[in-house]
Amino acid sequence: MDRFVIRGGAPLAGVIPVSGSKNAGLPIPVAAAILGTTDSRITNVPELQDIHTMARLLRHLGSPVEVGDGVLDIGAADSLNVEAEYDLVRRMRASIYVLGPLLARFGEARVSFPGGCAIGARPVDIHLRGMEALGASIEVEHGFIIAKATKLRGADMSLMGPQGTSVGATANVMMAAVLAEGVTTIRDAAVEPEVADLAGCLTAMGARIEGAGTRTIAIEGVGELHGADYALPPDRIESASYILAGAITRGDIRVRGAERRHLGAVLGKLTEADIWLDWEGKDVRVTVPNGIRSVDVDTGVYPGFPTDVQAQYMGLMCMAQGKARIVENIFTDRFMHALELQRMGADIQINGNVATVTGVDRLTGAPVMASDLRAGMVLVLAGLAAEGETVVSRVYHIDRGYERIEEKLRAAGADIQRVSD
């Protein structure tokens, strides 16, 4: 297992490029591989563990998928194995994305039930409710979700859940409804940019979708979909993470290739915190001419503050002047990183889904452990800002979602080494 050894304390300076979006890069290849009757090519694909896991899952289903050099080449298949087994699904929850498209195209899907994970319970009931609304029968047997339908039929449904809308359920139902008979209306749909991107790719494949990116999506089913060429958008969470790397080290960096309109809530909070952000097209220069101010944050569904940036933002607040209240509304147990940050000298009190962070003058390097992808990233950020040496273990969590992270940070002056056992 790899570790990062970081010698912190130096401000970052230089240019950090943004890669293609992981969260758009998971459903889009699934749609292309399972729903397309001709070949597809996805470009701007980040080199990430999660993308390789998805490619393995699709190959396991019988789809010829090649991944390399930022490209995913997906061959069309007339028939596929409809079973996604435990060993692949347990590695990545997004494996549930195969459910809707397999059901729509082949009338059956058997997907191992995804378990919980380090950020708390992550149920799939909204996905299943959506498939049932389209006329599928659902059973859970021997750890598998078994969904069947001779022909899906369009329906009018709400996908609202206890924590609000669901990105995954909206995407999954959309991938099923594109081949259903008649019109499907999804109300309370997730409006995250990744949903609009998936709809963009499905539309390029011949689907009829209106309203993706708004709360109501209308889908008129078609007989079949062909393949498409589609370029993934920049990763908005990676963009925010590197903007925070510049801020927490009080550096002077440019984050290159970011999509400003997808980052509204994060940019708003950072501006309040007195981080200076100067945009030139898709480049943003990050500087910290004054101190960092403490600013409260509540996570929410898009366009609210993303839960996927909560950990990294908490890192910044550890170094701010004052007290910040961080409320996690999406994954209410998602504070594992707080304990590790405390080991580095942070002052954080947790009460349920509320963290109160009192800024300290300095963090000090320590051995720490990544518990999930974004929790891993904040430890890297804190390590860059801390005095002395930080060793981050369980780097495999970080590799799931950050392409060439140590190379990108080193190019901006960071002292970070990957050490393999």
Nearer to ligand UD1, 158 or 163 (CB): 163
- Asked whether position 152 contacts ligand UD1 by CB under 6 A, the answer is no
Q: Is 89 in the site for ligand UD1 (CB under 6 A)?
A: no
Near ligand UD1 by CB under 6 A: residue from 26, 28, 76, 131: 26
Is 61 or 167 the residue whose CB approaches ligand UD1 more closely?
Answer: 167
Q: Which is nearer to ligand UD1, 3 or 374 (CB)?
A: 374
Is residue 388 within the footprint of ligand UD1 (CB under 6 A)? no
**Does 167 engage in binding with ligand UD1 (CB under 6 A)?**
yes
Asked if 127 interacts with ligand UD1 (CB under 6 A), we say yes
123 interacts with ligand UD1 by CB under 6 A: yes
Query: Could you say which residues in the range 223-252 bind ligand UD1, by CB under 6 A?
Result: none
Residue 199 makes contact with ligand UD1 by CB under 6 A:
no
> For ligand UD1, which is the closer residue by CB, 219 or 301?
301
CA–CA distance, 421 with 414 (Å, rounded to integer): 22
Nearer to ligand UD1, 162 or 281 (CB): 162
Give the chain as a 3 state SS string.
CCEEEEECCCCCEEEEECCECHHHHCHHHHHHHHHECCCEEEECCCCCHHHHHHHHHHHHHCCCEEEECCEEEECCCCCCCCEECHHHHCCCHHHHHHHHHHHHHHCEEEEECCCCECCECCCCHHHHHHHHHCCCEEEEECCEEEEECCCCECCEEECCECCECCHHHHHHHHHHHCCCECEEEEECCCCCHHHHHHHHHHHHCCCEEECECECCEEEECCCCECCCEEECCECHHHHHHHHHHHHHCCCEEEEECCCHHHCHHHHHHHHHCCCEEEEECCEEEEECCCCCECCCEEECCCCCECHHHHHHHHHHHHCCECEEEEECCCCCCCCHHHHHHHHCCCEEEEECCEEEEECCCCCECCEEECCCHHHHHHHHHHHHHCECEEEEECCHHHHCCCCCHHHHHHHCCCEEEEECC
Residue closer to ligand UD1 (CB basis): 241 or 307:
307
Residue 241 CB partners (closer than 8 Å, separation 6+): 309, 312, 374, 377, 381, 402
Stretch in the footprint of ligand UD1 (CB under 6 A) among 81-89, 101-109, 163-171, 198-206: 163-171
Using CB under 6 A, pick the residue from 30, 34, 94, 288 that binds ligand UD1: 94
Binders of ligand UD1 in range 303-332 (CB under 6 A): 307-308, 330-331
Interaction between residue 200 and ligand UD1 (CB under 6 A): no
Min. distance of Cβ 415 from ligand UD1 in angstroms?
29
Residue among 296, 339, 348, 288 at smallest CA distance from 318: 348
Interface with ligand UD1 in residues 37-76 (CB under 6 A): none
Considering the complex, state which of residue 192 and residue 252 has its C-beta at the smaller distance from ligand UD1: 192
Stretch that binds ligand UD1, among 39-47, 156-164, 312-320, 342-350 (CB under 6 A): 156-164
Among 317, 350, 243, 330, which Cα is nearest to 16's?
243
* 117 is an active site residue: yes
Q: Does the footprint of ligand UD1 cover residue 176 (CB under 6 A)?
A: no
Among 62, 71, 122, 208, binds ligand UD1 (CB under 6 A): 122
- Which range binds ligand UD1 by CB under 6 A, 150-158, 166-174, 343-351, 375-383? 166-174
* Residue 329-358 contact track with ligand UD1, rule CB under 6 A, x = bound: -xx---------------------------
When asked if residue 188 is in the footprint of ligand UD1 (CB under 6 A), the reply is no
Is residue 163 a contact point for ligand UD1 (CB under 6 A)? yes
**Taking the complex as a whole, how short is the minimal distance between the CB of residue 24 and ligand UD1, in angstroms?**
8
Contacting residue, 19, 21, 23, 63, with ligand UD1 by CB under 6 A: 23
Which CB, 35 or 96, lies closer to ligand UD1?
96
Choosing from 10, 13, 15, 117, the catalytic residue is 117
Should residue 175 be labelled a site residue for ligand UD1 when binding is judged by CB under 6 A? no
**Catalytic positions, please?**
117
Which spans of this chain sit near ligand UD1 (rule: CB under 6 A)? 23, 26, 93-94, 122-127, 161-163, 166-169, 190, 194, 307-308, 330-331
